[in-house]
Structure 1
Amino acid sequence: MDPSPLVDVLRPGQPSSLSSPYLAHLTTLPLPELTREPVSLQTQLHHLTSSLTSFTHTSYPTFISLHQTTTALTSSIESLSVSLTNLLDTSLPALEENTAAWKTRTDTVLRERNKARVVLEQHEKIRDLLDIPVLIDTCVRNGYFAEALSLASHVTALAGKAHENNSPPPAILTSVLSEVQHSITQMHLSLLETLYEPNRKLPALWKAVNFLRKMDAFASDDSTHSKSRPHAEEHLALAFLIGRESCLKAILEPISRDIQRLVNQVTDDQVVDQTDDTVGTTQFQHKSESTKELDEREKEDLARHLKKYIDAWRECIYDIVTQYATIFLERSSTHSETTQDEDLFSRLHTLLRTYSTRALSTHLYSILQSSLPLLTLTHLPSLLTQLNYCSTAFSRLGLDFRSILIGGGGLFSSAILAIVKHDFETAVEKWMARVEKARGMTGKNGLLSASASSNRISAKPAELPSKWLVLPSLVSSPPIPSSSDNIELPHIPPHILSSYPPLAELTNAILGVLNGLRLVVLRSPNTPISAEGVSELLLILDEIVLGRGSRVLINYLKLVVSFLDGDVERSGGDVEKVRGREREGRVVSAVGRVFFDVFGGFVRRALVEGVYGVRLDGLKGEGEGEEKSEGWIGRKNEFEEMCRSLGVEESESEEEEDEESEKE
C-alpha cells in the first residue's frame, strides 16, 4: 500500500479540499476507533477496488464513450475559447466600429429617401415645371411668341423667389431656367431671321420688332436705366435696316450680275493722235485692237435689265422706307413727350435718311453711272421717264433724287455727253477712214494705222478728189456755197451736201445722233442738259466732228495740192496736166468751202437750235473759239491760204461776176 496519499493528507499546513473534512472527522474519533481506522480504510479500499474493477469491466464502453466525449468536449471547449477570444479581440471591436459608422452611412440614404419622397409628393408640380422648356420651344416654332415670353417670365419669377430666400435655386430649377434661356435665344434668332426674309410684309415685320422690343434684345447691361432705352431702339432700327438691306441685295444681285456681265464686255479704247507738222500727216495709234462694243441686241438687253433693276430697286426701297417709318418713326412721334424722346425721333429719322442716301448711291447711282453711257440715245427717254416716276413717288417720302438725274453734272447729263461723244467719234472715224483710204493710209480691219512712218508715205494720193469727193457728173463744175443755200434752217440739211457723197454720209450720221438727242429732249419735260451742257455738246461737236474731220481733210487736200504742183512741174507745163490741176483745184476748193461754210455751220445750228431751240449767236461762250487759231477755225484759215496759193479763189470770183452779169 502506498502511503503517499496518506502522507499528503497528514502533511500539515497543506490541507486540500478533500482531506479537510476527513481530518476533521478523525479528530472526533476515540483512540480505539482511530486505531481501527486503517483496517476500516483498508477494507473500504478493497471494497472500492473490487467495485471499481467490477464497474470497469461492466461499464468500459461507457468509459470509452465518456473519454471520447470528454476529448471532444475539450476540443470544443478549446475551439470555443479561441472563438471567444477572436470574438472579444477582433469581431466585437469591428462590430463596434461598424455600429458607430452605421449612422453616418444611413444618413445619406435617409436624405435621398426623403428627397425621393418629396419628389413623389411634388410629382405633378415638377412635371409641369419640366414641361415648360418643351412648351416654350413649341410656342417659338409655331409663332406663339407672347405665350413663350409668359412662360419664360414664370420660370424667372420662380428663380427670383429662390434668390429672395437667400438660398441657391434647386438644380432642377437652374436646369429648366437654362433650357428656357436657350429657347428664348432661339426665339430671338427667329425674330431676327424674320427681318432677313425677302417676302415678309409690314404685319410680320411689325410683330417681330415689337417682340424684340419686349425682349430687350438690344438693351445694354444697364437696360434698367431709362437712358439706355434710346440706344436699344436705335440698335433695333439699325438691325431692321441691315436685315432689309440683305433682302434688297438678294433681289438685286441676279439682275446686277446680268448688267455687270454686259458692262464688263466693254473695254476702254483710247485713240492717241500724233501729228507730224513737218510733213503735214496724221497718224492714229490704237492702244487696243481687241476693243469690244455692245451690239444693238446687247444694248437692248442692257436697257431691259436696267428697267427691271430700277423697278426692283424702287419697290424694295419704297417698302423699306414705309415699313421703317411705320414701325419706328410713327411710334416715336406718338410717344415724343420729353426732350429725350424728341432726340430719339431725330436720330431715327437721321438713320433713315442716311440709309436711303446710301441705298441710292450704292445700288442705283453706281449701276446707272457705269451702264448708261453704253446705251444709245433712243434708250434714255424711257429710262428717264421711269426714274422721274420713281423720284416722284419717293418725293412723298421726302426722298426726291431728281437733282442727281437731270441736274448739272447729273447722271443723264453725263450719259448723254458720253453717248453723243461716242456716236460722234464713230461717225467721224468712218469719215476719217474714208479720207485716209483715199490718201493711201488704211490699216487692219479698216482702222487707221501708223505702221508706215512719215518718211515712207507716198507723195501721190491713192484717189484724187474728183474720183470720190464729188458726184462724177459735177466734176467739171462742182457746186459751191451761194446765197441760195439756206444754211439758216436747223432742221433741213442744205441740198448742196448731196453733191458730195462722203460729206452727205457724214451729215446723215451726225443727224442720226442729233435726232436721238432731240428725242430725249422732247420726251423729257425737264431736259437733262442745261445751257452749260449745250455749250459742252457744242465743244464736243467742234472738237470731234469739225476738228478731227477738218484735220484729216486738210492733210489730204495738202497732199493732193502738193502732188498736183509737183506733177505740173515735172511735166514742164503740159496742157493736160495744167487742166487736170485746175479741175482738181476746183474740186478741192469746193469741198473745203462746203465742209467749212455749209457742213460746219449747219451741224452746229442743228445741234443748238434744232435740238434745244437756243439761238446759236446768243449761246454763252459762242464766238470765243473763233478768236483762236487752233481747232477747225484755224484749219479753215489754213484752207483759205491754200486756196489762194492755188489761185482758185480769184478764178471762182471772176466766174461769179460773169454769172451775175449774165443774169443782169
Structure 2
Amino acid sequence: MADSILEVLAPYVDSSNGPASLATDATAVKYMNRLTTLSLDSIKTTEPQSISHSAHSTLLSLQALSNRSHKAFITSADHLSNLQTLIPSLAQEAKVLQNGIPKLDEEAVRFSTRYAKTGDNQIFDRRKKAMQLSRNVDRISDVLELPALLSTAVSSSSPSSAANNSGAAAGSLSTSKYSTALDLYSHIKRLQSLYPDSPLIKDIVLQAEDAMKDMTTNLIAGLRTQNIRLAAAMRTVGWLRRVAPELENPRGKGSSTGPDEGAFGALFLVCRLASLVSTLEALEPLRELADQETKRRTEGTTTEQTSKSSAWSGGQQTERFLKRYIEIYREQSFAIVSLYKNIFTTETVDNELVSASMSGLKTKPPPKQVKKSDPLQALPPALATFPIHLVQLLTDTLRGYLPNVRDKSSRESLLTQVLYCAASLGRLGGDFSMVLTELETDEEDEESEDDEAGIVREWEQVMRKHRALAGKLEQLTNGPKSSPVSP
C-alpha cells in the first residue's frame, strides 16, 4: 500500500535523485506506512499540525546544534576542503617510505652484524658498561659520598670543633662522631675486600686513609688535653687501636713491647708528658722572676768584694715558682702514672696467685710462653723508664732554683712538699725521695762545703719530721703502716 502511494506522489515530490530514491528512502517508506493507518479526517485535520510541529522542533534542534558546534563544523569543512590535496601528498610520502624500506633493512642488518653480542666488541662493551652505570648510579653516588661523610665526621669531632661545645655534650658528640667514622671506615675496608680490583674503590680507600690519618692526629691531640679523664683516655686509646692497628706490634709479628700495650703505652706517656710540660710552661712569668733572683745570686757569689754579712738573701719569687711548680708536678705526675696503670697494666695472673695463696690452695705455675724467633729482646713496658725522666725533670728544676731560697722555714716547706710528691708517686711504685737527697748546690764561694753539708742535714731533718708526722697519723687512724699522702 505504501509503495502505491509513493508511486502516486512521486511526481509531486521535489527529489533531486528522482522517484527511485524516494522509494528506497526508509524514512519516506516508514511515513507512508504510518499514513495508511490514519483515517482521512485525521490526515486532513491533525496531520498537517503534527508535521508543522515536528518541522519546528527539528529547526530548533538544528539551530541549537549549529550554535553549540559551529566551530567543529567550520573545522570539518576546512579539513574537507584540504582533503583533496592531502590524499595525493599522503600517497607520495607512502611511496617514498616504500622505497626507503630496503635501505632501512640493509642498515638494520649491518647494525646487527656490527654490534652482535658474539665476539669481542669494544663499542658494545662500552655501551653495556654505560647502561650498567646508569642502572647503578644511585649506589655509586652513595659510595662516592663515603669519603666526604668520613671527613665530615672526623672534622666535626676534632678538638677545635669540640671546644665550641661544653661539658658532657662535647664528649658524647665526639664519641658518636668517632664511632660513626670508624663504622664508615670499616664499611670502606669491606668494600675493598669485595672489590679489590676496582679503581674507584681504590681511590675511595686512599681518601679514607687520609681522613683516618687526620682522625689519628685528632686522637693524639686529644691525649694531650689537660685534665683528661680515665674514661675519655680509655676510649681514645681504644679508638687508636682501631685506627692504627700497626702500632700494636711495631717491630713485627715475632716481637712484643709489653703486656698488651704495643706502642700505645709510649705514645700515651709522651702525650701526657707534653701536656705536663705545656702546663708547667704556663709558669713562665714566675720562672722569669726566679731567673732574675738566680742571676742576682750568681753575681753576688762571683763578686770578690762582697762579704758574708752583705751576701744576697731572699728568694721569695723562687719560692712561689717552686711551690706552684711542685703542686702541678705532683698532681699531673700521679695522674699520668695512674691513668697508664689503669689503661695498660694487666694483673689478672698476679691477682689469681695472691688470692690462691691467701686461701691456702696450691696453684699451678703459669704456663711458659713459647719463645718466638726474635733476634732482639722484648722491649720493656714504656712505664719502666718513664718515672726516671719525670724525676729528672723535677730534680733539674730543684737543682737550678732551690739554692735561691735562703729562708730555712721556706726551704723546709718546699722540701716537705717534694717529699709528699715522692710519697704520692710511691703509691704507684715510683718513690724518689732518696734520689732528691743527692741534690747539690752550684755555689762556688768559700762556704760551699758548709752549705752542701747543711743541705744534707736539712734533708735528714725534713725526712725525720715527715716520718714522725706519718707515725702520728697512723696512730690516730689505726690504719696500716703506709704513707698518709694522697695525690
Q: 1:218 aligns with which of 230, 243, 247?
A: 247
TM-score, normalised on structure 1? 0.40
Counterpart of 1:354 in structure 2 is 385
Provide the aligned C-alpha RMSD in A.
4.6
Q: What SS does the corresponding residue of 2:247 show, helix, strand or coil?
A: coil
Q: CA deviation at 1:348?
A: 7.8
Q: 2:464 aligns with which of 525, 539, 543?
A: 525
Q: CA deviation at 1:219?
A: 4.5
Counterpart of 1:371 in structure 2 is 401
Q: CA deviation at 1:321?
A: 0.5
Equivalents in 2 of 1:288, 1:181: separation in Å? 68
Counterpart of 2:138 in structure 1 is 124
Counterpart of 2:447 in structure 1 is 421
User: Residues 261 and 230 of structure 1: is their aligned pair in 2 closer, same or farther, counting only changes over 3 Å?
Assistant: same
Aligned residues of 1:191 and 1:212 also touching (Cα < 8 A):
yes
TM-score, normalised on structure 2? 0.53
**Superposition map of 1:424-435 within 5 A:** none
Q: CA deviation at 1:115?
A: 2.4
Q: From the CA coordinates, give the structure whose radius of gyration is larger.
A: 1
Q: What SS does the corresponding residue of 1:366 show, helix, strand or coil?
A: helix
String of CA shifts for 1:468-500, please: whole Å, max 9, x gaps. Answer: xxxxxxxxxxxxxxxxxxxxxxxxxxxxxxxxx
Counterpart of 2:80 in structure 1 is none
Q: What SS does the corresponding residue of 2:216 show, helix, strand or coil?
A: helix
Q: Give the partner amino acid of 2:333.
A: I
Counterpart of 1:135 in structure 2 is 149
User: Residues 342 and 373 of structure 1: is their aligned pair in 2 closer, same or farther, counting only changes over 3 Å?
Assistant: farther
String of CA shifts for 1:436-477, please: whole Å, max 9, x gaps. Answer: xxxxxxxxxxxxxxxxxxxxxxxxxxxxxxxxxxxxxxxxxx
Q: 1:286 aligns with which of 286, 304, 307?
A: 304
User: Residues 133 and 334 of structure 1: is their aligned pair in 2 closer, same or farther, counting only changes over 3 Å?
Assistant: farther
Q: Give the partner amino acid of 2:416.
A: T
**Superposition map of 1:135-534 within 5 A:** 135-140=149-154, 141-142=156-157, 143=174, 144-163=177-196, 168-169=197-198, 171-215=199-243, 216-219=245-248, 225=253, 227=255, 233-255=261-283, 257-258=287-288, 259-267=290-298, 286=304, 296=314, 299-330=315-346, 339=368, 350-361=381-392, 363-376=393-406, 377-406=408-437, 410-411=438-439, 414=440, 421=447, 525-526=464-465
Q: Give the partner amino acid of 2:293.
A: L
Equivalents in 2 of 1:422, 1:269: separation in Å? 14
Equivalents in 2 of 1:342, 1:263: separation in Å? 55
Q: Give the partner amino acid of 2:298.
A: T
Q: CA deviation at 1:365?
A: 0.4
Equivalents in 2 of 1:311, 1:381: separation in Å? 15
String of CA shifts for 1:349-372, please: whole Å, max 9, x gaps. Answer: 7531311111111x2101111212
Equivalents in 1 of 2:445, 2:237: separation in Å? 47
Equivalents in 1 of 2:420, 2:312: separation in Å? 28
Gaps of 5+ in 1: 1-98, 272-284, 426-513, 529-664
Counterpart of 1:438 in structure 2 is none
Q: Give the partner amino acid of 1:286.
A: E
Aligned residues of 1:252 and 1:309 also touching (Cα < 8 A):
yes
Equivalents in 1 of 2:301, 2:251: separation in Å? 62
String of CA shifts for 1:231-289, please: whole Å, max 9, x gaps. Answer: 98332211111111111111112326333443244325667xxxxxxxxxxxxx93899
Task: Give percent identity, aligned residues only.
Answer: 23
Q: CA deviation at 1:172?
A: 1.9
Q: What SS does the corresponding residue of 1:307 show, helix, strand or coil?
A: helix
Gaps of 5+ in 2: 1-109, 158-173, 353-365, 468-487
Equivalents in 2 of 1:342, 1:391: separation in Å? 38
Counterpart of 1:37 in structure 2 is none
Aligned residues of 1:255 and 1:309 also touching (Cα < 8 A):
yes
Equivalents in 2 of 1:266, 1:416: separation in Å? 11
Q: Give the partner amino acid of 1:127.
A: S
Equivalents in 1 of 2:182, 2:345: separation in Å? 26
Counterpart of 2:66 in structure 1 is none
